[in-house]
Amino acid sequence: MTQAAATTSDTPSTPDMGLGARIANVFFAPASAFAAVAARPRASGVLAVCIVTMMAAQFTFLSTEVGQTAALNQQIDTMKAFGVTVTDEMVRQMESRMEYAPFTGAAALLLYLPVMSAAVAGLLLAIFTVITGGGATFKQVFAIVAHSLVIVALQAFFTFPIAYAREELVSPSLLSVFFPMLDDTGFLYHLLNTIDVFHIWWVISLSIGMAALYKRGTGGAAATLFGVYSVIVLIIAVVRTV
C-alpha cells in the first residue's frame, strides 16, 4: 500500500485538534501537532493567523520614525553589500517612499507568505517523493509548512521590539551577533550573518512535520532539510563575500 493509504487509514485514530491547540502544540508538542495536521490537513486558519500577526508587528514598527529610518538603512546596506552604488538621488527617492512603508510592507507579506509557503511545500514534496517514493499530497505538505510558520511569526515579536530599541533592523538572533570580533568582510562573518537561530528552529519544526507525515525518523528528515538549508546558506555567504 502507498504512504497515502497509510496516512488515510491513520486518520480515525489520530486525535483532532482545533486551530488554537495546533498552534500551541507546534511549540510544546510538535510531534502530536504535526501528526494531527498530517491526518487532517488544514492550512488556511493558521496561515491567516501568521500573516495577521506578522503584518501587525511589521506595521507597528514601520509606523514609527525609528522603524522607517532602520528600514531605510537596511535597504541601503543591502544594496551596497551586493555592489550597488547608492547615490544621493537614490536615497532621496527611498526616503520619499518610507511614509508608505507600513502599507507596502503589509501588502508584501500578504502576497509573499502564501507564495513562499507554496514554493517550500512544492520543493519538500519533490525532495521527499524522490527519497521515499511518494505517498503524501501537496495539501498535506502545504499544511505542514503553514503550521511551521508560527515559528517565523514568533520571530517577528522577538525581533521588532529589539530592533526598535537598537534603532537598526538587524535580527538579534543571527549567529554573527555572538561573534562581534569577526571581520565583517570575511566569509565566516557572512556565513554566520546568514544563519538565524529562528531559522534553525523553523527547519527543526519542518523536520518533525515531514517525519510525522511520511512516518519516518525525525533525524533522517532533519538531515535532509538541514542539508538543503546548508547549501542555501553557503551560496548566500559566498555571494555576499565576493
Can you give the pLDDT of all 242 residues of the chain as single tens digits? 344 434 433 445 777 899 999 999 999 999 999 999 999 999 999 999 999 999 999 999 999 999 999 998 888 887 877 777 888 888 888 888 888 999 998 899 999 999 999 999 999 999 998 888 878 999 999 999 999 999 999 999 899 999 899 888 888 899 988 888 888 888 899 899 899 999 999 999 999 999 999 988 999 999 999 999 999 999 988 887 87
Beta-carbon neighbour count of residue 16 at 10 Å? 11
User: Nine-digit cell at 156?
Assistant: 517577528
Helix (H, G, I), strand (E, B) or coil at 135: coil
Alpha carbon 189 to its chain centroid, in Å, reads: 21
Asked whether the beta carbons of 192 and 131 are under 8 A apart, the reply is no
- What pLDDT score does 180 carry? 84
Sign of CA dihedral 117, 47, 197, 35: negative
What sections of 11-137 are H helices per DSSP? 19-28, 30-39, 44-62, 65-81, 88-97, 101-132
d(CA 140, CA 211): 12
The strand pairing partners of 196, in sequence order, are 174
Cell of 147: 503550521
Asked if 200 and 218 touch (Cβ cutoff 8 Å), the reply is no
Residue 241 confidence (pLDDT): 82
CA distance 115 to 109: 10
